């Protein structure tokens, strides 16, 4: 929220990386998954005129952590991985993995997982000068 001015829906964002780590045998329920998502914020210039264009205003890499992650149903990681949204809701399955995370795919990576909690690990400004 501090970087973009609002909580993003992640519409048209690109998944850059996904990883999962299981807990050591002596540390139960510490499985964690990490998701890095590239979010771009555009601004309309000259709206309603022939000079209308979309200008890149901000570009950030959001790193999310899903603690106590399980029940992965993920697929189609590719060279772009454009998503429509990331939604988090109560799963109702049980208290230890009470959140259902849905990553809605437009192209490439998508799916769902359950977890105990979701945290924003880091938000990093990205220089998009070369990727326009």
Per domain, the residue ranges of the chain are 13-125
pLDDT tens digits, 48-64: 788 788 788 889 999 99
Q: Does 94 have pLDDT greater than 70?
A: no
Q: Does 93 have pLDDT greater than 70?
A: no
- Residue 131's pLDDT is 47
Residue 97 in 3-state DSSP? helix
- Residue 130's pLDDT is 42
Stated pTM of the model: 0.81
pLDDT tens digits, 81-92: 999 999 999 977
């Amino acid at each position: 929220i501090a970087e973009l001015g609002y909580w993003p829906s992640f519409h048209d964002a690109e998944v850059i990386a996904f990883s999962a780590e299981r807990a050591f045998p002596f540390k139960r329920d510490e499985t964690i998954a990490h998701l890095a998502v590239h979010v771009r914020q555009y601004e309309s210039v000259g709206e309603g005129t022939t000079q209308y264009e979309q200008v890149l205003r901000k570009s950030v890499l959001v790193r999310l952590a899903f603690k106590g992650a399980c029940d992965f149903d993920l697929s189609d990681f590719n060279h772009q991985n454009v998503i429509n949204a990331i939604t988090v809701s109560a799963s109702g399955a049980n208290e230890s993995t009470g959140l259902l995370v849905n990553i809605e795919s437009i192209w490439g990576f998508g799916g769902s997982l359950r977890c105990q909690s979701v945290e924003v690990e880091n938000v990093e400004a990205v220089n998009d000068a070369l990727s326009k």
